[in-house]
Amino acid sequence: TSAPASYPECLEIQGGTVLSGHVQISGAKNSALAVLAGALCTNDQVSLRMVPDLHDIRRMFQVLQSVGVRIRREACDIVIDSRHITSVEPCPDVVRKLRASFFVIGALVGRQGEAVVPLPGGCNIGARPIDLHVRGLQALGAQVKVRLVMHGKVHARAANGSKLVGGSFCLDYPSVGATETLMMAAALADGKSTLYNVAQEPEVVDLAEFLNSCGANITGAGTKCLSVEGVPRLHGTSFTIIPDRIEAGTFLMAAAITRSSISMSRVVPRHLVAVVSKLQQIGCKIVQTAPDGLEVTCGSRLQRLDVTTLPYPGFPTDLQPQMSSLMTTCCGQSIVEETVFESRMRHVEELQKLGAKIRVSKNLAFISGKDQGSSLYGAPVLATDLRAGAALVLAGMAGEGVTTIEGVSHIDRGYEKLDVKLAKLGAKLTRKACLPSELTL
């Protein structure tokens, strides 16, 4: 009997298959979320292409709709109409499920002079404080109150009762979220703002280019210093989201862990320099086949590696769990150091259930390769967050036997049809309803 649709979904993976073929990389989740928030800055319609169909994107749609934004799909485009904002307080229930939705505070207070935004949610991978957002908005002339009662809300309003003013602010840490929030706020402020020690990620550059295409005056995106000359209003635009470098990196590692050869397109090779360098270091061959195309080939014997996660242009924290999976199949002992999120080792316990030999000490993971005890095999595991889920998919494809992954909804938050794309490359995996254990006896 087929299971009712109300049951959560699992991925069942038969390990030991070799991948081949070509994969199309989707638009970048983290860029699309920021650009959708940035659409609130405009007094017009914007048309966005390459917006991935993801749980997190749909939640951001709900956040925007809760303040009066109209959203419709036209062919391959998403049309965002922000002309008639009806509220400065987005729906608390949705905001608490999606951390990126907190970014709308910058757009709302910049355009409307006021915003009331609940404290954010998202993946449980450690503390991601909002103090940089708060102090940055204060530097732009906002009065900000953080009320912690009833789950907590942040209330920001222009101190002069009208609009924000230009100012200077140096971030203690190059936070992507804080950089994007303050960029949106400063775009509509009265005067010039200078932001120091900002994030340099490609997604930050993409947001700046989107806002500039709407009439903003932002320079320095991609460097440590942003200059924003405020303008009275922003107009509509058509804009294409950049390809997802984390998805591309995940597929590069999928090829490596299965010792396969695949090609991919709709990538920006310069966004992947840190990842490509590490994969070449362990023995993979990666060549650029077109301005937006890569081909990866990985032989049977790959070498150990030391990796430290860092803000861009360093090795991305969002690929650390996937790299940890790959390291269990290499020769020797690898060391992974996580410096961005303090709780991003939760995938280790699940990888251990699949036969991985990994020892964790604070923010360091010591990973024994296949010649030192790691021998991946199928088992039931749980995806504890988005990137941990991707790491388990990779390990399941490389292991012997069948791996069943619960918590697939985490994977669906950030990968567009990951199982479908992998199946087209030859992976043996199926999505099915997870039956309660008492029904499977």
| CB within 8 Å of 213: residues ≥ 6 apart | 237, 239
The amino acid present at 425, given as its one-letter code, is L
Distance CA 226, CA 218 (A): 7
The yes-or-no answer on residue 41 being catalytic is no
Cβ proximity of 249 and 276 under 8 Å: no
Angle, in degrees to the nearest 10, between helices 245-257 and 386-398: 20
Instruction: Please tell me which residue in 123, 284, 330, 434 is annotated as part of the active site.
Output: 123
Nearest Cα neighbor of 278 from 358, 222, 335 is: 335
Distance CA 377, CA 351 (A): 10
Q: Using alpha carbons, list the distances in angstroms from residue 47 to 29, 70, 293.
A: 16, 12, 26
Q: Using alpha carbons, list the distances in angstroms from residue 131 to 90, 138, 173.
A: 20, 11, 11
Nearest Cα neighbor of 413 from 100, 86, 158, 127 is: 100
Distance CA 290, CA 293 (A): 5
Other Cβ atoms closer than 10 A to 93? 12
Residue owning tokens 């989107």: 210
Nearest Cα neighbor of 428 from 406, 411, 391, 403 is: 403
- Which positions are catalytic? 123
